């Protein structure tokens, strides 16, 4: 299982939010420096989200992401504000991101996902963010009423192999992951599931692995020190 340290970007700074609330942001410094720290502690992959792009659609953190890529040698997956094939081309081509995460567009424009998957294959990942069992979009501000498992299976039909499944209510809260939901997603879709939201202690890594997840994203727990990345990597191996 791969552990993905999370780096969320807001106005060029690394931040962590509570349940996706942009007004509850805690700053954690210069993103490239943070990225290098996680790499030095053994990270194999980084999970970066452009929060400004997720809410506004404009890729204002381009230079910040580019600096991260120049600083580390490990691959990076990037989400936030991906609305068109041109957005994907920019990130995978010009910028050099390893994988792009499509979120809102998976609901609003599933044909884009199919086009991107045909063009880039496994470099396209779909992010499904859920609260109370329903998919949320537009930076988690819009409740679609869509069932997460149904959406995942629709994305599978359109050529997607990997889903990042986030429990919004647990994100940034250090309350533990929604293991039952992760297990259900794995069982009902047969896809590669990367779990996100609520990781708080090392045992959470073990629990998510046992639920069948192929990866786990860890954010606030790394920044507060409640999970040591090097130790967590050993637990997930």
Write out pLDDT tens, residues 102-153: 988 888 899 999 999 999 999 999 999 888 778 876 555 555 568 999 999 9
Query: Over 80: is that where the pLDDT of 171 sits?
Result: no
Q: What is the CATH number for 26?
A: 3.20.20.70
Query: Over 70: is that where the pLDDT of 209 sits?
Result: yes
pLDDT band for position 205 (cuts 50, 70, 90)? very high
Query: Nearest 5 degrees, angle CA 71-CA 73-CA 75?
Result: 110
- What is the pLDDT at residue 143? 59
- What is the pLDDT at residue 168? 80
Q: Specify the residue for token string 């580019």.
A: 66
Q: What is the gyration radius of the CA atoms in the chain, in angstroms?
A: 16
Q: Which residues have a catalytic role annotated?
A: 8, 129
Q: How many domains are there within the chain?
A: 1
Q: How far is CA 69 from CA 61, 143, 215, 229, in A?
A: 13, 33, 21, 20
Q: Which residue range forms the structural domain that includes residue 84?
A: 2-236
- pTM for the predicted model, two decimal places: 0.93
Distance CA 92, CA 19 (A): 28
pLDDT in tens, 17-34: 766 667 777 889 999 999
pLDDT band for position 90 (cuts 50, 70, 90)? very high
On whether the CB atoms of residues 232 and 209 are closer than 8 A, the answer is no
- What is the pLDDT at residue 136? 77
What is the residue-averaged pLDDT of the chain? 90
């Amino acid at each position: 299982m791969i552990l993905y340290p999370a780096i969320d970007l807001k106005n060029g700074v690394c931040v962590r939010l509570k349940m996706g609330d942009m007004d509850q942001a805690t700053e954690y410094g210069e993103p490239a420096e943070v990225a290098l720290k996680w790499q030095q502690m053994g990270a194999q992959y980084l999970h970066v989200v452009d929060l400004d792009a997720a809410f506004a659609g404009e890729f204002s953190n381009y230079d910040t992401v580019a600096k991260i890529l120049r600083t580390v040698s490990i691959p990076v997956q990037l989400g936030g504000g991906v609305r068109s094939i041109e957005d994907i081309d920019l990130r995978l081509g010009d910028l050099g991101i390893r994988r792009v995460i499509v979120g809102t567009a998976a609901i609003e424009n599933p044909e884009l996902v199919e086009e991107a998957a045909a063009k880039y294959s496994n470099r396209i990942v779909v992010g499904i963010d859920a609260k109370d069992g329903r998919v949320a979009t537009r930076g988690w501000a819009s409740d679609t009423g869509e069932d997460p498992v149904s959406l995942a299976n629709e994305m599978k039909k359109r050529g997607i192999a990997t889903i990042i499944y986030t429990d919004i209510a647990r994100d940034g809260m250090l309350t533990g992951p929604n293991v039952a939901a992760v297990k259900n997603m794995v069982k009902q879709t047969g896809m590669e599931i990367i779990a996100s939201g609520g990781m708080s202690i090392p045992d959470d890594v073990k629990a998510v692995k046992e639920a069948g997840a192929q990866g786990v994203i860890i954010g606030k727990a790394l920044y507060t020190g409640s999970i040591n990345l090097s130790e967590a990597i050993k637990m997930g191996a």
